[in-house]
Amino acid sequence: MNKIFNCDIMEGFKQLDSQSVDCVITSPPYWQLRNYGFDGQWGLEPTFEEYLENLWKMMDEINRVLKDTGTVWINLGDTYSTKSGGFAQEASKRTPSMTQKYLDHIGTIQQPSNLPTKSLLLIPHRFAIGCFDRGWTIRNDIIWAKTSAMPESVLDRFSKKHEYIFFMTKKPKGYYFDLDSVREEHMQSTLKREMRGRNTGKYTGGAGGQSEQGLIKEREHKGYENMKDIYESGETTLNPKGKNPGDVADFWKIGTAMSKTEHVASYNPALIDKPILAGCPRGGVVLDPFSGTGTTLVRASQLGRQYIGFEASEQFFKITEESVNQEEERKSQPTIEDFI
Ligand SMILES: C[S@@+](CC[C@H](N)C(=O)[O-])C[C@H]1O[C@@H](n2cnc3c(N)ncnc32)[C@H](O)[C@@H]1O
C-alpha cells in the first residue's frame, strides 16, 4: 500500500478510494509564511479566506477517503498581520543569521492592506470552527509548545511559541484511539503518594510488627512493581499503565527540529509519534497530503504503519523518495532476531 505521489494535493486525492485511509497527519503550509517556489502552492492565496476555503476543500476530501473509524491530526500555526508582508519576512529582518534559509523561500509575500496591523489572524481557530461547522468532531485542540522555537525580538508582546494540532474524527464514537500506547510513567511524587495510600485513606499501616512509618517507606519504594496489587485491591485510581501523556495531556512540550534538508518547515518526528501510535492501528494506513520531506511517512513506517504521501514540489518529493527508500532498505536488513 505504501505510495508517494509527486502531485498537487487535489490530484492526489483523486488517486484514493473512499474509506481507504485510517489516519491523516499533516502540516499544511501556513498562510503567507513562505514561498515554496512553485505555481499552485497553497499558503500564498491573496486572502486568508481563500486559504481557509482551500483547507476546507482538503477536509472534504479527507472526509471521503477516511474510514469511519479514522482519525485526523492537523498541525496549524498562526500568522500576524503586518504592513510589510508575512511574519517570516518580518522575522528575517530581525534575526538575519537565523533565517537566511527562509529568505530564499519567502519571495515577495504581501498581505492585503485591510487587515488590522500587528494582529494575530486566528487562522487555526477559524479553520477549526469551519471544520466543526462541516460536521467534524473536534476531539482536541492540542497545544504544541515549541521548547526551541526561533527567537523573536519583540518588545510589545510575548514571543509566540506554540502551534495547534487539531485532533478530529468523523464520528463522536467508535473511532480508533489507543491511549494505552502513549501513556507516560507516573511522576515519582504521584507514585509515592499512592503507595502511601493517601488518596483513598484505606491504608492504615502498622502490620507485622513494623512501625507505620517503616511500612510507608517500604511501600513508597516499591513503585511500579507494587502498583498492580494496589490497583487490584482498589487502593488507587492511578492507571498502572501510566498517565495520560504530557504535563497536561493536551499540552505537548516538544522542541522544533533543525531540518537536515533544504525544507524550512519539516516537523520534529517526536511530534507525530503520539498521533501515529494512538490514532492508527498497527498495519493501518497513514496519509500525509502535504508530505514535504516525508517525515510522517518515514515515522509511520518505522512504527509499523503503511503510508501515502502527496507533495507537489519536485525538490521535496525527491527528498521524500530518498528518505522512504532508505527506510525500506533499513527494514529489509536482517536484524539480530533473524539470527537467534
Ligand atoms: C509545512 S510543509 C510540510 C512539511 C512536512 N511535514 C515535513 O516534515 O517535511 C507543507 C508542504 O506542502 C507542500 N505544498 C504546498 N502546496 C501544495 C499543493 N497544492 N499540493 C501539494 N503539496 C503542496 C509544500 O511544498 C510543502 O512541502
Residues 12 and 116 in one domain: yes
Residues 128 and 166 sit within 8 Å (Cβ to Cβ) = yes
State residue 98's pLDDT score.
38
Q: Between 170 and 334, where is the model more confident?
A: 170
Residues 102 and 207 in one domain: no
Residues 204 and 332 in one domain: no
Question: From ligand 1's centre to the CA of 49, what distance in Å?
Answer: 19
State residue 199's pLDDT score.
47
Residue 239 lies in a domain: no
Residue 269 has pLDDT above 90, yes or no: no
Name the E strands within the chain: 3-5, 21-26, 66-76, 137-145, 162-169, 251-253, 285-288, 306-310
Question: From ligand 1's centre to the CA of 254, what distance in Å?
Answer: 21
Q: Between 200 and 22, where is the model more confident?
A: 22
Which of 23-32, 47-56, 135-144, 203-212 shows the lowest mean pLDDT across its residues? 203-212
Residues 77 and 122 in one domain: yes
Residues 65 and 171 in one domain: yes
Residue 259 grid coordinates: 531540518
Q: Judge if the beta carbon of residue 61 lies within 6 A of ligand 1.
A: no
Question: Which ligand 1 atom is at minimum distance from the Cα of 54?
Answer: 19
Q: Judge if the beta carbon of residue 267 lies within 6 A of ligand 1.
A: yes
Q: Judge if the beta carbon of residue 31 lies within 6 A of ligand 1.
A: no
Site to probe by mutation for ligand 1, drawn from 311, 314, 317, 323 as the one with most ligand atoms within 8 Å of Cβ, is 311
pLDDT category, 1, cuts 50, 70, 90? confident
Question: Which ligand 1 atom is at minimum distance from the Cα of 41?
Answer: 16
Residue 203 has pLDDT above 60, yes or no: no
The boundaries of the domain holding residue 196 are 185-232
Residue 94 has pLDDT above 60, yes or no: no
Q: Which residues contact 33 (CB under 8 A, 6 or more apart)?
A: 43, 77, 79, 86, 87, 88, 106, 109, 265
State residue 231's pLDDT score.
73
State residue 256's pLDDT score.
77
pLDDT tens digits for 298-330?
999 999 999 999 999 999 999 999 999 999 998
Which of residues 173, 201, 232 is at a domain's end?
232
Q: Judge if the beta carbon of residue 324 lies within 6 A of ligand 1.
A: no
Nearest CA to ligand 1 atom 7: 266
For 112-123, what is the mean pLDDT? 88
Residue 248 grid coordinates: 497536561
Residues 38 and 120 in one domain: yes
* 306 beta partners: 285
Q: Judge if the beta carbon of residue 70 lies within 6 A of ligand 1.
A: no
State residue 248's pLDDT score.
47
Residues 170 and 28 in one domain: yes
Q: Judge if the beta carbon of residue 295 lies within 6 A of ligand 1.
A: yes
Find the CATH number of the domain harbouring 100. Answer: 3.40.50.150
Question: Which ligand 1 atom is at minimum distance from the Cα of 11?
Answer: 20
Query: Would you tell me how many other CB atoms lie within 10 Å of the CB of residue 320?
Result: 27
User: What is the spatial order of strands in the sheet that 3-5 belongs to?
Assistant: 3-5, 306-310, 285-288, 21-26, 66-76, 162-169, 137-145, 251-253
Q: Judge if the beta carbon of residue 317 lies within 6 A of ligand 1.
A: no
State residue 246's pLDDT score.
60
Residues 267 and 257 sit within 8 Å (Cβ to Cβ) = yes
Q: Judge if the beta carbon of residue 290 lies within 6 A of ligand 1.
A: yes
State residue 33's pLDDT score.
85
Shortest CA distance to 266 belongs to which of 297, 303, 291? 291
Residues 215 and 170 in one domain: no
Name, of 108-112, 215-219, 252-256, 304-308, the range with top average pLDDT: 304-308
pLDDT tens digits for 9-50?
999 999 999 999 999 999 999 998 888 989 999 999 999 999
Which of 34-48, 78-92, 116-130, 296-310 shows the lowest mean pLDDT across its residues? 78-92
Which of residues 171, 198, 232 is at a domain's end?
232
Residues 208 and 174 in one domain: no
Nearest CA to ligand 1 atom 10: 29
Sign of CA dihedral 72, 75, 79, 85: negative
Predicted model pTM:
0.83
Residues 107 and 213 in one domain: no
Name the E strands within 216-322: 251-253, 285-288, 306-310
Q: Judge if the beta carbon of residue 29 lies within 6 A of ligand 1.
A: yes
The SS3 call for residue 12 is helix
Residues 75 and 203 in one domain: no
For 325-338, what is the mean pLDDT? 83
Residues 134 and 210 in one domain: no
Share of the chain above pLDDT 90, in %: 52
Q: Which residues contact 249 (CB under 8 A, 6 or more apart)?
A: none
Q: Judge if the beta carbon of residue 245 lies within 6 A of ligand 1.
A: no
State residue 165's pLDDT score.
97
Q: Judge if the beta carbon of residue 292 lies within 6 A of ligand 1.
A: yes
**Distance (Å, whole) CA 38 – CA 47:** 18
Question: From ligand 1's centre to the CA of 133, what distance in Å?
Answer: 25
State residue 295's pLDDT score.
95
State residue 93's pLDDT score.
46
Residue 200 has pLDDT above 80, yes or no: no
Q: Judge if the beta carbon of residue 166 lies within 6 A of ligand 1.
A: no
pLDDT category, 136, cuts 50, 70, 90? very high
DSSP string, 140-166: EEEEEE-TTPPP---SSS----EEEEE
* Exposure on the CB side of residue 127, measured as CA atoms within 13 A: 31
**Distance (Å, whole) CA 254 – CA 271:** 7
**Distance (Å, whole) CA 272 – CA 92:** 28
Name, of 172-181, 197-206, 211-220, the range with top average pLDDT: 172-181
Q: How many domains does the chain have?
A: 2
For 287-295, what is the mean pLDDT? 97
pLDDT category, 261, cuts 50, 70, 90? low
